[in-house]
Amino acid sequence: MDRRLFLTTGLAVGAATVSQAALPAAEHSPGKSKIIGISCSPRKGKTTYKALDVCLKAAKETSSEIETQLIELADLDIRPCNACDQCKKQLKCSIQDDFAELIPVLADKKVAGMVIGTPVYFGMMTAQCKAFLDRCGMFRFNNWIFRNRVGGALAVGSMRNGGQEITLQAVRTVLLCHDMICVSEGKDTAHFGATLVSGGEGGIEGDTFGLKTARNLGRRVAELALLVGVANAKQG
């Protein structure tokens, strides 16, 4: 998609928010747009999963044109990239592990947005998150598959100033290397993504502010994904 066309057509459709009325399915959308959440925690069903679930539910509620999928890395064997360069020749990895199952899911043309969620370990993303993002290099090498997808980041720390923003920026750096369109968590805070605290009373369920950023991030990713979809439809 030509980004100049996006600015002149897509943004003109909705200056502030995207409503279903502004995006009638029959006129603008050949099918639903998918937003994928990736939980990069080694602990299945815990705080990062719960935070992403809140985020994706908010995204889905934005429009009937949005569908979501939450993938957990906890039970998957995803090893670090070994820089063999095989994926520069084709969309295939030489490492025999569970990442192979994710390739067709991530390459699906219906995917319009991705939210990467990770716990904060010593001020940085988890090893699972880094391995996953490194292995996603194949999507850059094979015709920039992630290009123009909307990207968001979510981080869960044990305390309010526990390294969430540093972690978010590290994740966003990778998404930008795919030429993705990175968003904030949206107004009225609008910084680097969703930041949650798991170590307070009640866990993330008690983190009213953090949950607000998760919901706002989901809405923002969905809103922009729909706008990009409108621009693509007009171009096509």
Domain count along the chain: 1
pTM of this structure: 0.86
Q: What is the predicted pLDDT for the residue at 3?
A: 54
- Identify whether 84 is part of a domain: no
Q: Is the pLDDT of residue 57 over 70?
A: yes
- Identify whether 171 is part of a domain: yes
- Identify whether 122 is part of a domain: yes
Cα separation, 130 vs 136, in Å, equals 10
Question: Contact, 117 vs 39, CB < 8 A?
Answer: yes
Q: What is the predicted pLDDT for the residue at 20?
A: 38
Task: Give percent above pLDDT 90 in the chain.
Answer: 79
Q: Is the pLDDT of residue 13 over 90?
A: no
Q: Is the pLDDT of residue 28 over 50?
A: no
How confident is the model over 47-51, as a mean pLDDT?
97
167-201 pLDDT, tens digit each: 999 999 999 999 999 999 999 899 999 999 999 88
Q: Which residue has the tokens 């096509």?
A: 236
C-alpha separations of 204 from 89, 91, 198, 215 in Å: 43, 38, 5, 13
Q: Is the pLDDT of residue 23 over 80?
A: no
110-160 pLDDT, tens digit each: 999 999 999 999 999 999 999 999 999 999 999 999 999 999 999 999 998
Q: What is the predicted pLDDT for the residue at 235?
A: 63
Q: What is the predicted pLDDT for the residue at 207?
A: 95
- Identify whether 81 is part of a domain: no
- Identify whether 6 is part of a domain: no
- Identify whether 89 is part of a domain: no
Q: Is the pLDDT of residue 1 over 90?
A: no
**Domain at 201, CATH number:** 3.40.50.360
Q: Which residue has the tokens 């990778």?
A: 174
Domain span at residue 130 reads 31-76+98-235
Q: Measuring CA to CA, which residue among 20, 117, 28 is closest to residue 62?
A: 20
- Identify whether 2 is part of a domain: no
Q: Measuring CA to CA, which residue among 99, 118, 116 is closest to residue 107?
A: 99
Q: What is the predicted pLDDT for the residue at 2?
A: 58
Q: Which residue has the tokens 């705080």?
A: 47
How confident is the model over 9-23, as a mean pLDDT?
41
